[in-house]
Structure 1
Amino acid sequence: MHRYTLPAIALHWLVALLIIATFLLGLTMVDIPGLTPTKLKYFSWHKWMGVTVFGLACLRLLWRLTHKAPTYPDSMPAWQKNAAHAVHGLLYFLIFAIPLSGYFFSLSAGVPVVYLGIFPLPVFIAPDPELKILLRQTHYALNMTLLAVFCLHVLAALKHQFIDRDRTFQRMLP
């Protein structure tokens, strides 16, 4: 059985866990009424996690571009292989688009992003109330799309593990 490399596996699971945590924190923070110290702290953490996800996604993409993924089992139908490629492509797109939309949403709201409270990130756009609304909606829509694609990805992995028993899932286990 062909497997992913250990760095690819580590980056996969680290990015996945960070995305889940960032997503859940995002849901939590927007439900806090008003502008409280806790809400502000959660917003900072959410942004820091998003920047971290983006940085790790860059490393992951670089690794993926320089290391070939293992082949799918011969028993897998072509349509499933094509679907898997499409889902992975969409996941990569979303892993980059979501942090970028959040970053520009924050800038459009006039709130610069200061990574870990130490490193100010560049300000590329001026505050813009109309753009802020559009970017908030975009950030939300991209996140809901990620949730749906993530669920599809997990269900496909479980199908391969428990129904097909073709060891596809084991390729990504440490």
Structure 2
Amino acid sequence: MQRYTRTAMLLHWLIAVLIIGAFTLGVIMTDIPGFSPTKLKYYSWHKWAGVTVLGLAALRLLWRLAHPAPAYPVSMKTWEKAAAHHLHLLLYMLMFAVPVSGYLYTLAAGVPVVYFGVLPLPVFMDADPALKPVLKAVHYWLTMGMAALVAAHVGAALKHAIINRDGVMRRMLP
């Protein structure tokens, strides 16, 4: 059985944990009423996770271009292979689009992003009260789309592990 490289596995699982963490923080922080130190701390952590996902996604894409994914088992139907390919493509796109939309939303809100409280990220646009709600909605819906695709990805992996028992999931397990 062909497997992903150790680097691909490491990047996959790091990004997965960060995405789940950022999503969880996003849900929690937006439910905190008003403005508090805890809410501010969660927003900072959420942004740091997003910036980290963006950087790791870039590394992962470069790695994937140089190290193609292992072939699917011959037992997989053509439509399953096509669905898996398109799901992965959409997930890669969202690993970039979600953090970028969050970053743009933050800038439109007039709030700089300071990575880990130390490294100020570029501010290339002024605060824009008219654009802020649009970017907030874009970030929200891209995030919900990613959540749905992650659920489909996990569901498909479990199907291959439990029902098909074809080794597809084991390719990404350390």
TM-score by length of structure 1 reads: 0.99
Correspondences of 1:64-79 after superposition (within 5 Å): 64-79=64-79
User: Does residue 121 of structure 2 align to residue 121 of structure 1?
Assistant: yes
Q: 1:1-174, aligned counterparts within 5 Å?
A: 1-174=1-174
Alpha-carbon distance, 1:99 to partner: 0.3
- For the residue of structure 1 that corresponds to 2:3, the secondary structure is coil
Deviation at 1:130, TM superposition (A): 1.3
- TM-score of the superposition, structure 2-length normalised? 0.99
Letter in 2 for 1:45: W
Whichever residue aligns with residue 85 of structure 2, its letter is H
CA–CA separation in structure 2 for the residues paired with 1:127 and 1:4: 43
Distance in 1 of aligned mates of 2:27 and 2:135? 17
Q: Which runs of 5+ in 2 are unaligned?
A: none
Deviations 1:55-112 (A, max 9, x none): 1111111100110110000010000000000000000011100000000000000001
Stretches of structure 1 that go unaligned for 5 or more consecutive residues are none
- Shift in Å, 1:40: 0.6
Aligned-residue Cα RMSD (Å) equals 0.5
Structure 2: distance between partners of 1:37 and 1:146: 28
For 2:96, what is the secondary structure of its paired residue? helix
Could you tell me how far apart the structure 1 residues matched to 2:130 and 2:2 are? 50
Distance (Å, rounded) in 2 between the aligned partners of 1:68 and 1:24: 31
Q: How much does 1:124 deviate?
A: 1.3
1:6-62 CA-to-partner distances (Å, cap 9, x unmatched) read 000010001000100010001000000001011011111111111011111111111
What is the one-letter code of the residue matched to 1:47? K
Percentage of matched positions with identical amino acids: 61
* Whole-Å separation in 1 of the counterparts to 2:121 and 2:14: 23
2:157 maps to a residue whose letter is A
Aligned length: 174
